[in-house]
A = this chain, B = another copy of it.
């Protein structure tokens, strides 16, 4: 038995851990955003597998010393490094409850399945989709994009599950802009189509797909004997947060009978904000949408979602069989369809519970407002940066991402300044390459950020850049 010998002693230890976890979240503002893992701690984390038991309290002590201080930092109000959500205390408690229940949401007839169905139906409703639609919670949008590519592949090539892509000689081609996340290319690679099957289209000055170039590419490919099957539109590109003209893409996809998928990793939940919804017009016409709960909805990692308009096609892509998973009319093996019929995994955690708790606790309106606030903060940050006279600010980006760079700076200066800011513990931003230029990037996907945090960011990065440029150290 792996249960505690003394439940009351374990209870005290667990409450102690919970108090620390709550303090850790409450007091995050007082700590550095990030600090590197010291070498001696790395060394302790190379110890071999323990043969003998260790008291829970002692394991916890090692955790508190060697692990807890070295979080990624994304729950901190001045973590603006990448598009990471900030989590919530309620979400952390929900995840503990899910782990205590330890349900397997791969299928069968029990509570976790109904909660996951409810969460998915909320997003069907949000986009006005019918009961024919399906969905699945997954690790994240990378997995959701892969799922969408596979369903689109089935839609284009009915025999693909049986015979594979080689036998079909179908020359499938997909289309997405150059600003698309690399996981889309990876999805086509995994699906056996190869990265060359993805036609990477140019973007306009605001990083939106060039629709004319898309039209030309599809028509040229058809003329050459290729089989166009998929358009991936972006609701929030990774570098600047651009939104492709989704309405136009939907129209073209319908005309050409192509599968229209939207990668809305962080952007799709902006649909909860009435003020931002119009920017996303057309997303509701997609055949499939991928998005994350752990980004702009602040559910603890990991939790992404794939919704598919044609639930039957979704099921046809993944449903399998085995005598050990035979469905019954009653009992625990009832409950068709199973989530395992809609994705690769037969064992799946009760990931939906933390989503259910988060959306219930805060409600759609407040979650939408938090997203809108971050967009307003991005506008504020752009103004503040420009007002220094020291930075150029990338004017595009409709959401929460701000790209900027010090005037007359080298790539090395940008990278070194970003690293020094991280090392200072004051704030975390990242760097990326935009239109050939190395730039700094602040992603305000953070419900804890205040305008004063952005003021501090501007002052800190300006000082670091000044130091670097005056000492010519890089």
| CB contact between A111 and one of B70, B82, B195, B301 (< 8 Å): that residue | B70
Residue A354 CB within 8 A of the other chain: yes
| A89: chain B residues within 8 A (beta carbon) | 3-4, 10, 14, 100
A182/B320 in contact, CB under 8 A: yes
Which listed residue, B14, B183, B294, B323, touches A18 by the CB 8 Å rule? Answer: B14
Q: CB within 8 A of A345: which of B70, B74, B143? A: B143
Contact bitstring A354-369, B, C-beta under 8 A = 1, else 0: 1011111111111100
Binds B, one of A59-67, A207-215, A248-256, A383-391: A59-67
Instruction: List which A325-368 residues lie within 8 A (CB) of chain B.
Output: 325-326, 328-333, 344-351, 353-354, 356-367
A47: chain B residues at CB < 8 Å are 118
Q: Name the segment of A280-288, A426-434, A465-473 touching the other chain.
A: A426-434
CB–CB A99/B87 < 8 A = yes
- The answer to whether B62 and A360 have CB atoms under 8 Å apart is yes
B-chain residues with CB within 8 Å of residue A305 when the two chains form the complex: none
Residue from A86, A93, A103, A162 whose CB has the most chain B CB atoms within 10 Å? A93
Task: Give A195 to B163 CA distance when docked, in angstroms.
Answer: 6
Partner of A110, one of B71, B109, B190: B71
Stretch at the interface among A119-127, A216-224, A228-236, A455-463: A119-127
Chain B CB within 8 A of A45 CB: yes
Once A323-B433, A332-B72, A345-B142 are accepted as A-B contacts, the answer to whether A167 and B185 lie under 8 Å apart by CB is: no
Q: How far is the CA of A194 from the CA of B301 in the complex (A)?
A: 33
Q: Are A21 and B96 in contact (CB under 8 A)?
A: yes
- Could you tell me which residues of chain A, from 57 to 108, have a CB within 8 Å of some CB in chain B? 59, 62-63, 66-75, 81-82, 84-105, 108
In the complex, A201 has a CB within 8 A of chain B:
no
Q: Which of A177-193 contact B (CB under 8 A)?
A: 181-183, 185-193
Docked Cα-Cα span, A16 to B408, in Å, equals 57
Nearest-CB distance from A170 to chain B (Å)?
Answer: 7
Cross-chain contact A193 with B192 (CB below 8 angstroms): yes
Minimal beta-carbon separation of A275 from chain B (angstroms)? 16
Q: Assess whether A143 is in contact with B344, with CB atoms less than 8 Å apart.
A: yes
Asked if A182 meets B363 with Cβ closer than 8 Å, knowing A37-B110, A347-B141, the reply is no
Report Cα–Cα, A329/B15, bound state, in Å: 39
User: Any chain B CB within 8 A of the CB of A452?
Assistant: no
Question: Cβ of A3 and Cβ of B73 under 8 Å apart?
Answer: no
Q: Is the CB of A365 within 8 A of B161?
A: no
A474 CB to nearest B CB, Å: 12
**CB-contact partner of A92 in B13, B55, B96, B170, under 8 A:** B96
- Whether B59 and A2, one on each chain, are in contact in the complex, defined by CB atoms closer than 8 angstroms, is no
Which of B190, B292, B324 is A347 in contact with, Cβ under 8 Å?
A: B292
Q: List 11 A-B contacts (CB under 8 A).
A: A11-B22, A45-B118, A74-B103, A84-B104, A87-B102, A102-B300, A139-B349, A186-B320, A294-B349, A295-B347, A301-B349
8 shortest interchain CB distances as A-B pairs: A192-B192, A164-B194, A70-B111, A96-B96, A87-B102, A331-B419, A49-B122, A323-B433
Apart from A187-B344, A333-B422, 5 more pairs, CB < 8 Å? A45-B118, A59-B360, A72-B112, A84-B104, A166-B194
